[in-house]
Amino acid sequence: MGVKPAVLLSLLLAGCTGEHSILDPAGPAARDVAWLWWGMLSAFSLVFLGVVGTWLAAFRRREHPERSPSEERRLALRWILGGGILLPGVTILLLLAFGVPAGQRLLPLPLPGGESPRTIEVVGHQWWWEVRYPDEAGEVVTANQLAMPAGEPVDFHVTGGDVIHAFWVPRLGGKIDMLPGRVNRIRLEADDPGVFGAQCAEFCGAQHARMHLHVEAMAPEEFEAWLAARRSPPAQAEGHDVARETFVEHCARCHRVEGLSDGREGPDLSDIGSRATLGAGVMAMEEGAIARWLAEHQRLKPGNHMPAHDQLDTEALEAIGAWLETLRP
C-alpha cells in the first residue's frame, strides 16, 4: 500500500486479470467491491503517505521554533483532534455510507417484479462439490461443475455435507460459508457468458487446495438446454457391459449414475463425460483421463476419500474409464 507505489502499480497492471481475480469483475456484486477497493486504495495511500511523511519530516527538521507550553498544548490538541478523531471519524462514516448499499446487492431480497430468481443448491464435501438444480420438471444433479444463466440474478443455497467449506466465485462476488446443518443464501449475477474459476475458501482439511469448481455462465436459452439435456438419463452407449457390471459391483455404493445406481457418498457421475475437469480440478478431462485418475487418484490427490482400487486390474479400470467418458447428455 503505497510503500513502493511504482513497484506495486506495475505488478498490478501486469496482473489484474486471472480466472480468480477479484480485480477482474464479471458481475455487479464483484464490480462494486472492485470499485470499493480502488477507492479505498487511493484514499488510504494518501493517508499513509501523509502520516509517514510527517513522521519522517519530524526527524529531518533542523529548526525548532521556541514555543510556550500553552502553544505546544494547543498544537498537540489540534493534531490529536484532527488526526486522531476527525480523520478516522470522517473516513469510517464515508466507508459505512458506501459499504452498506454495496452489501445490500448481495441480499436475497425479493426482485422488483415480485418473482424470485432461479435457485441453485451447492453442497460442499471433502473435497468435491455437489450441485443441484431443483425444478418442478425434475431435479438435475451434477458435481464439480456449475452452469448458470448469465445476465440474471441467481440465488445460491449452500450447505456443508461434512465440515465447513466456503462457496466463492471471485469474479462474480463475495463468498459465503457452507455450514453443516444450515443453509446460507447468496445472490450472484454474471454479466455475460463465460467461464470462471472457483475454489473452496474455508480450510476444510488436507485437500482444501484441490477443491475447484468449474463455473460456466451461459446465455439463458443455452442454459435451459443444458438443464433439459440432463433431465433424461444419459444415452446408453453400445458395448461397455462389462464395465457397467464392474461399476455396479465396485463403485455403485458411493456413486450415482442416473438409471443405474444411487450411491450418494461420492460425486454423481451421470454427466461426467461432459465435465471439463476431474477430481475437482486435479486434471483436465481428456481421453484416458478417467482411467488414469482411477489408477492413481491417491497419488494425484493424496488423502481423498475414494479408496484405492488395487483389487481391480488396469484393464478393468480402463474399461470403466472408457465407459464413463461416454456418459454425457
- Select from 27, 174, 266, 329 the one that contacts another protein (CB under 8 A): 174
When the beta carbons of 80 and 225 are compared against another protein, the nearer one is 80
- Determine if 32 is a binding residue for another protein (CB under 8 A): yes
Residues 227 and 113: their CA atoms lie apart, in Å, by 25
For another protein, the binding residues in 278-297 under the rule CB under 8 A are 281
- Determine if 184 is a binding residue for another protein (CB under 8 A): yes
For another protein, the binding residues in 35-74 under the rule CB under 8 A are 36-37, 40, 44, 47-48, 51-52, 54-56, 58-59, 61, 64, 67, 72-73
- Select from 173, 234, 266, 329 the one that contacts another protein (CB under 8 A): 173
Side chain identity at 241, as an amino acid letter?
D
- Select from 10, 42, 90, 92 the one that contacts another protein (CB under 8 A): 92
When the beta carbons of 94 and 219 are compared against another protein, the nearer one is 94
Of 84-92, 141-149, 246-254, 265-273, the segment contacting another protein by CB under 8 A is 84-92
For another protein, the binding residues in 207-226 under the rule CB under 8 A are 207-209
What is the total count of residues that contact another protein (CB under 8 A)?
100
| All cell numbers assigned to 94 | 464515508
- Determine if 144 is a binding residue for another protein (CB under 8 A): no
- Determine if 82 is a binding residue for another protein (CB under 8 A): yes
For another protein, the binding residues in 108-127 under the rule CB under 8 A are 108-110, 126
* SS3 track for the chain: CCCCHHHHHHHHHHCCCCCCCCCCCCCHHHHHHHHHHHHHHHHHHHHHHHHHHHHHHHHHCCCCCCCCHHHHHHHHHHHHHHHHHHHHHHHHHHHHHHHHHHHHCCCCCCCCCCCCCEEEEEEEECCEEEEEECCCCCCEEEECEEEEECCCCEEEEEEECCCCEEECCCCCCCCEEECCCCCEEEEECCCCCEEEEEECCCCCCCCHHHCEEEEEEECHHHHHHHHHHHHCCCCCCCCCHHHHHHHHHHCCCCCEECCCEECCCCCCCCCHHHCCEECCCCEECCCCHHHHHHHHHHHHCCCCCCCCCCCCCHHHHHHHHHHHHCCCC
Of 129-137, 160-168, 233-241, 250-258, the segment contacting another protein by CB under 8 A is 160-168
Of 97-105, 217-225, 228-236, 321-329, the segment contacting another protein by CB under 8 A is 97-105
- Select from 106, 147, 289, 316 the one that contacts another protein (CB under 8 A): 106
- Determine if 253 is a binding residue for another protein (CB under 8 A): no
Q: Cβ of residue 41: shortest distance to another protein, in angstroms?
A: 8
